[in-house]
Amino acid sequence: DRNLKIAPSILAADFANFGAEIEAVEAQGADWIHVDVMDGHFVPNLTFGPPLVKAIRKHITTVMDVHLMIAPVDPYIDAFADAGADILTAHVEAGPHIHRTLQAIRGAGMKAGVALNPGTPASAVEEILDLVDLVCVMTVNPGFGGQKYIDMTGKVRKLRSMIGDRPVHIEIDGGMDPKTAPEMWAAGADVLVAGSAVFRGGSVSDPAPYGDNIRAI
Ligand code: DX5
Ligand code: ZN
C-alpha cells in the first residue's frame, strides 16, 4: 500500500524565517521536511549543513529528510545524525563506495536514502536495494530550485519493479507541480519533494497560494 507524502523543500523558503516557514508547512500537512545540503563541489551551489538541521529540529516533530548533494559523504554522517536528521540520502554518483556509505548511515541510527541524477540509470542501485529505505529520483539536475522538470517516469517504473516487496520509498525531487506530481504518483512514486510549488518564491505563511492544504500542490 502506497501513501502519498509531500516533503516541502526549505531551499525555496524565506532563509531569514526558517522557524516560522517550517512551522507553517508542518501545520498545513507536510509529511516530511526536505533539507537540501549542497557543497559547491558535487553541485554548483552552496546551502547549509548540520547546524541548520539542528536548529530547525527544535521547531518541528516532522520527519527531517536530508538530501546530501555533497562529496565526500562519509566524514559528515555522524554530524547529521547528531543534528537530528531522520533520513539521510546520499547520491550514488558521490563516490565509489556507496555501499559503505549506506551501511554507515544506518549504523548511525538513521534511515538511508540513495539519490540518482537524471543521467544515471535505475540499474545503478540494483545491488543496494536491501540497504536503503528510500530511492530519490532527481527530475532536475541538482543544484537549484525552480528548474524545469525532466520526465523520469520510465526510470520510476523500472525502480518500482526492481524494488518489489521491499519497504522502500520512491521519492521524486525537482519540478513537482499540479501537473507533474500526478504523473509521478501514477508511475509508482510515493514521496514528492516540492520547493517552489509550496513556497512560490515568497513566504508560505503569507497567504498560502494553494489554500490551507499542502496536498493541493
Ligand atoms: C534541487 C533540490 C530540490 C529542489 C526542488 O537540487 O534537490 O530539492 O529544492 O525545488 P523545486 O520543487 O523548486 O524544483
Ligand atoms: Zn532535494
| Amino acid 201: pLDDT | 54
Q: Tell me, in angstroms, the distance from the centre of ligand 1 to residue 56's CA.
A: 19
Assigned domain for 215 exists: no
- The 10s digit of each residue's pLDDT in 23-44 is 988 988 899 999 999 999 999 9
Report the pLDDT value the prediction gives residue 144, as an integer from 0 to 100: 97
pLDDT score of 2: 85
Atom of ligand 1 nearest to the CA of 138: 7
Supply the range of the domain harboring residue 184. Answer: 5-210
Quick check: is 56 in a domain? yes
CATH number at residue 96: 3.20.20.70
> For the chain, how many residues are written?
217
pLDDT at 204 over 70: no
In this structure, is residue 73 part of a structural domain? yes
Domain contains 106: yes
- Single-letter amino acid code for the residue at 94: A
Within a domain: 128: yes
pLDDT per residue as tens digits for the range 59-114: 999 999 999 999 999 999 999 999 999 999 999 999 999 999 999 999 999 999 99
Q: Is residue 138 part of a domain?
A: yes
The verdict on residue 216 lying in a domain is: no
Domain assignment present for residue 136? The answer is yes
Atom 6, ligand 1: residue with shortest CA distance: 142
pLDDT band at 156 (very low <50, low <70, confident <90, very high): very high
Which residues sit with their C-beta closer than 6 Å to ligand 1?
9, 11-12, 34, 36, 67, 140, 142-147, 173-176, 193-197
* pLDDT > 70 in the chain, percent: 92
Look up the pTM and report it: 0.94
Total structural domains in the chain?
Answer: 1
Catalytically annotated residues? 36, 173
Between 81 and 207, whose confidence is greater? 81
Assess whether pLDDT exceeds 60 at residue 212.
no
Return the pLDDT at 66. 98
Q: What is the mean pLDDT of the chain?
A: 92
Three-class SS of the chain: CCCCEEEEEHHHCCHHHHHHHHHHHHHCCCCEEEEEEEECCCCCCECCCHHHHHHHHCCCCCEEEEEEECCCCHHHHHHHHHHCCCEEEEEHHHCCCHHHHHHHHHHCCCEEEEEECCCCCHHHHHHHHHHCCEEEEECCCCCCCCCCCCCCHHHHHHHHHHHCCCCCEEEEECCCCCCHHHHHHHHCCCEEEECHHHHCCCCCCCCCCCCCCHHHC
